[in-house]
Amino acid sequence: MELGVEETDNIRTMTLPETLPTHAEIEEQLKRMTTSTRFQKAPNQAAFLELVVRRALAGQTKTREVTIGRLLFPGFLKDESTDVRVTASNLRKTLPRYYEEEGFDDLVLIGLPRSQHKGSKLPEGLAYTPEFSYNPTHNVSKEFKLGEYYRRRRLVEDCEHAMTHYAQVLKVAPYHIGACIGMAECLCGAVQTEYVIGYWNEAEKEEWIFQAARFLDRVHNRAKETWRLWATGAAMLIVLGKLNEAKDNFDVALSIDRTAVEQYPPYLYFLVLSGSATVARRLAARYLDRRVDDIEAHTTYADLLIETGEESDEKEAEKVLRVALKMAKNEHSVHYLLAKLMARQERADEYAKHLEHMRLLGDKVSHKLAKRCIKLPANGA
């Protein structure tokens, strides 16, 4: 898939920047909608929709009532004419009907914002400024959601599963921000794992990192206000051993969304590599306090305790992992970390039990990695 020059989007999104469609995708959706039978029968609504969408694509982040009135309705009088408000009200009713029926499987959602509180009004200029996102009923959104699920589990075989789903997204939406960033994250994770197992040589490692960099470059202009772009770039630089450059990237990511970055596992491991293990453990503990229902929060904190804490921290790590095990008894990563902990404590039976559980769960590569990297001491059973 060849890379191309991608424009910078200065438009609003209903959800995360990772799911912001491109200009071309939005324009294609606008054409599909305005030429549909539903909008052909409602020419005022079609003209209204086309005007506000094209203004948004041109970087006009606020579209005022008077602007629409003067462009679409001859004789419009500010504070007297109701044409704009009536048309907007009708359009807000038409849009959900369109997406419930003929537009159910369209790629892009176009909507007008609504006030979150009954009786209140949106700020001047925002009520008629459209929002955009990928349609959750389209296969692109479903595949992206699956890719994110596997990526967040951060297990060895999950990288392959995640990349398979991201690849399906990119076949339809090649500049999908979230899928490109997710693909780069998975490539970096796969490089680290395979390198440890011993499958790859230095040349293969560099090739995969190059591919990760290409995915980030593909969406850089549109995603440069997204913390994950910079944080993933930092993770890539860590794999290459360039900690100073990784720090620069993390600094940018932190300036965009400090809370998100401080609970991002690669950042916590970067802190460890940089000699700030205590800070990493503190941030991981805080993340767990905030997200007690998040398995990743448990495993990240426990792993940091096992790898950087004192012997006394192992009790806390086991406690955290036992809680996670009750929440999800078939979570590979929990069994992996318990196997690691049991090996350190020479608890041979429990070590073997957790390894076997991983094997039964079908994660063959993670099981192989565990057996290779987590071993009982020579005198262990």
Residue with tokens 């960033």: 181
Q: Give the DSSP letter of residue 309.
A: S
Mean pLDDT along residues 306-328? 91
The Cα–Cα gap between 277 and 309 comes to 8
Tens-place pLDDT, residues 229-251: 999 999 999 988 899 999 999 99
Residue 336 reports pLDDT greater than 70: yes
Q: How far is CA 203 from the centre of its chain?
A: 29
Domain ranges (residues) in the chain: 17-134, 139-373
3 state SS of 10: coil
Please list the alpha-helical segments (H only) found in the chain.
Answer: 23-34, 37-40, 43-57, 65-72, 83-100, 139-153, 156-172, 177-197, 202-223, 227-239, 243-256, 258-261, 265-273, 277-290, 295-308, 313-327, 332-344, 348-360, 364-373
Lowest average pLDDT, out of 146-160, 217-231, 281-295, goes to: 146-160
Dmax (CA) for the chain in angstroms is 92
pLDDT for 371 equals 62
Tens-place pLDDT, residues 32-56: 999 999 999 999 999 999 999 999 9
Residue 1 reports pLDDT greater than 60: no
pLDDT for 206 equals 82
More confident residue, 48 or 381: 48
| CATH no. for 139-373 | 1.25.40.10
Nearest to 284 by CA among 269, 322, 325: 269
Q: What is the pTM of this model?
A: 0.82
Residue 10 reports pLDDT greater than 70: no
Angle at 220 between CA 137 and CA 113, to 5 degrees: 45
pLDDT for 203 equals 75
